[in-house]
Amino acid sequence: MTGIALVNAGLKVTILERASAERRSGAALQVDSGERDVSTTAKHLRKTASGGVRSVEAWSSIEARLRSEAKTNPQIDLRFDTRIQIVHQDDEAAWVITDKGEKFSG
C-alpha cells in the first residue's frame, strides 16, 4: 500500500519483498471499514485493497489485488525473494544491501 501511495504522489518505487512470488494464504482482515482519511490517495488505497467490498476477507485476496496493482504499474519495481542484510543511512541518503550484495538507496 505504501508503494502505491508513493507512486500516486509522483515517486518511482522499488519494493523489496522477502516473500516469494508464490501467493500464500493467511489471516483475515477488513480494509475498507473506516473513512477517517478522505484524501484521494487513501480512497484509492482502500478501494484497491478491499476491491470495493466492506467485509472481512482473507489476507491472500487483499494481497493479490495490491500485488496486481504493483505489478502493472511501470513506476513500481517489485522484487520478490529479496532479503535485506544491512540497513544504513547518513545525512544524505538511506540504503540497504541484500543477501546477494545488491545495493538500493534513496
Q: List the chain pLDDT tens, one digit each, 106 residues.
A: 899 999 999 999 999 999 888 866 666 666 655 566 677 877 777 777 777 767 777 778 888 888 999 999 999 999 999 999 999 999 999 999 999 999 999 9
Residue ranges with strand state E in 2-52: 13-16, 28-29
What pLDDT score does 100 carry?
95
Residues 6+ away with beta carbon under 8 Å from 20: 80, 81
Spatial separation of the C-alpha atoms in residues 95 and 88, rounded to whole Å: 5
Whole-prediction pTM: 0.69
Which region holds residue 24: left if phi is over 0, alpha if psi is between -120 and 50, else beta? beta
For the chain, list the domains and their CATH numbers. 2-105 (3.50.50.60)
What pLDDT score does 30 carry?
61
